[in-house]
Structure 1
């Protein structure tokens, strides 16, 4: 991990701690760090989006996440950006866009952050009025995380998410 990454991680680690940054200080600190990057470095808009999202400025985060995804992120950050963008879209009442984004991401078949992705997908489905399908996605996600009853939970979750159970 390079020095820049360590400094960004230190800012994020200080959030919510005693003496940690205020919302404005967080945004300023992240903006200062990302100003060190080349304009084509997708980490800049990703981190700036995260700072705005974390401080309740969700509407300002959405275009930054989109910019980061367009510029191209490493696989870990790309998946995080998709989840964070979808979550932000839910907050600003663009629920159908969030559902579509998360469904497309699930269809990629990657395992990295899959339980988290499924959880946000379930939230988006519930917000879209598709509660039964949301429960199925959530139950299926739990089924992938447990050993006992996992097969049953996955099967029931699949059936519910398809409207069959």
Structure 2
């Protein structure tokens, strides 16, 4: 018999081939095997998120964190939860959550993805200039050339000079 984690991975692997209702039913069944387990709550939150139930997803993500979810799943759930909050119109909470988690660890493998979600939250809250600055500052270190120029453009955009 496969482990619980393997069963969850297998379910996510077939998520595009089954109905949303079936994905939720199967994830609920798996989560019921581990009541109040932070990882089970996080996976169930993800299932609600991917099937268009953001309020339930946000609540489950919050419960997972409160139950002691740890890395590496915690860092993924921070992004997923923040994205869900953005979808619910809670832009400032989304931005704060991502910055609180990832500003403390700028070299985290998901820090770039977190910046993209910050930019999305900024853009959907009518703060497009800040969103562009966020993306420029995220992309700049990865570029082989033009770094100085891109930093200067980001600074000028941030200062309202362009």
Structure 2 Cα separation of the partners of residues 96 and 145 of structure 1: 27
Q: Quote the residue 1:8 is aligned against.
A: 8
Instruction: Give me the CA root mean square deviation.
Output: 1.9
Q: How many residues align?
A: 159
Using the alignment, how far apart are the partners of 1:116 and 1:154 within structure 2?
Answer: 19
TM-score normalised per structure 1? 0.86
Q: Deviations over 1:6-51 (max 9, x none)?
A: 11111111122xxx21001001111111111142x20011001000
Q: Can you give the 5+ residue segments of structure 1 that lack an aligned partner in the other structure?
A: none
**Equivalent residues of 1:140, 1:155 under 8 A apart:** no
Structure 1 residues 131 and 50, CA gap change in structure 2 (3 angstroms): same
Q: Measure the CA separation in 2 of the matches of 1:88 and 1:143.
A: 27
Partner-residue secondary structure (3-state), 1:144: helix
For 1:28 and 1:75, locate their aligned partners in 2 and report how far apart those are by CA, in whole Å: 26
Change (3 A) 1:155 1:50: farther
* 8 Å contact from structure 2 (residues 129, 158) kept in 1: no
